[in-house]
Amino acid sequence: MIRLGVNIDHVATLRNARGGNHPDPLTVAKALVGSGMDGVTIHLREDRRHIRDADAEAICAWAGRPVNFEMAATDEMVGIAARLRPHGCCIVPERRAEITTEGGLDVANHGQGLRPAITRLREAGIRVSLFVDPDPAQLRAAAALGADVVELHTGAYANGRLGELERLREAAALTEGLGLECHAGHGLTFANVTPIAALPQVRELNIGHFLIGEAILTGLPAAIAQMKRLMIEARDG
Ligand code: PXP
């Protein structure tokens, strides 16, 4: 089986554009149960540009679907996650000026800096994922740090970089021997999801921006159902 985590950050982006309460991310998450969404992904950024503390609180308390809480490895975020206890945390690099998460964590060179966050989250009973580029050195470092999961950054693949699918294939294959669960995400669309969903080690895809954009045309439940169909068909061969 392959799961679809739906990133609803941009529901909050739309809400924030007018400063009111509509559309409300929790209401949207609840409405998506039954659409093919297996989990809800939210990224509480340091600058709170989309998801806010109250959203994170409400969505984690709801627990209608497992919550994947994306966060930077800061003391503030670790404290919030340890209190809200989402199903999983995905640690991502975060720079204030970036439009979205632009690259994976450099676990190979700066992994020791992540150790306290990983330890504290795991002690709180939270499964820890590290968002990394499909690079064997990063995967080995993630395993050595005791991560449960790696999420492979598919952004370069989505941008059409040559050889990237092969890198992702090799990285996914390597996760098995390292005892890491393999997730993938970033920039995935109806047009490019199939080869990624077909990788047998990939257990979960996290997809946001495309689905929210597609929802303007077809509605979000229909966009999610179509994405899930493509993922299952890719798996079936
Ligand atoms: N996975 C991670 C770790 C991310 O940071 C993001 C973007 O928030 C995604 C997946 C989803 O990317 P997209 O919005 O391009 O589908």
pTM surpassing 0.75? yes
Residue 43 CA: which ligand 1 atom is closest? 8
Rounded to whole angstroms, how far apart are CA atoms 128 and 97?
Answer: 25
Residue 141 in this model has a pLDDT that exceeds 90:
yes
Among this protein's residues, is 186 annotated catalytic?
yes
- Provide residues with CB under 6 Å of ligand 1: 7, 9, 43, 70, 90, 92, 100-101, 131, 151, 185-188, 206-210
Which tens digit of pLDDT belongs to each residue from 203-212?
A: 999 999 999 9
Span from the CA of 8 to the centroid of ligand 1 (angstroms): 10
Determine the pLDDT at residue 103.
86
Among this protein's residues, is 43 annotated catalytic?
yes
Owning domain of residue 229: 3-236
Determine the pLDDT at residue 120.
97
Per cent of the chain over pLDDT 70 is: 99
The preferred substitution site among 100, 131, 196, 212 for testing ligand 1, maximizing ligand atoms within 8 Å of CB, is: 100
Report whether 145 contacts 111 (CB < 8 A).
yes
Span from the CA of 113 to the centroid of ligand 1 (angstroms): 23
Determine the pLDDT at residue 124.
97
Among this protein's residues, is 50 annotated catalytic?
no
Rounded to whole angstroms, how far apart are CA atoms 185 and 18?
Answer: 29
Which tens digit of pLDDT belongs to each residue from 66-109?
A: 999 999 999 999 999 999 999 999 999 987 677 776 789 999 99
Determine the pLDDT at residue 57.
98
Tell me the two tokens of residue 66.
């497992």
CATH number (domain holding residue 165)? 3.20.20.70
Residue 31 in this model has a pLDDT that exceeds 80:
yes
What mean pLDDT is reported for the chain?
96
Rounded to whole angstroms, how far apart are CA atoms 131 and 185?
Answer: 9
Which tens digit of pLDDT belongs to each residue from 44-53?
A: 999 999 999 9
Which tens digit of pLDDT belongs to each residue from 165-192?
A: 999 999 999 999 999 999 999 999 999 9
Rounded to whole angstroms, how far apart are CA atoms 227 and 196?
Answer: 12
Determine the pLDDT at residue 94.
86
Question: Domains in the chain: how many in total?
Answer: 1
Q: Is the dihedral of CA 166, 69, 227, 161 positive or negative?
A: negative
Residue 9 in this model has a pLDDT that exceeds 90:
yes
Span from the CA of 182 to the centroid of ligand 1 (angstroms): 15
SS3 content of the chain, % helix, strand, coil (to 5): 50, 15, 35
DSSP 26: H
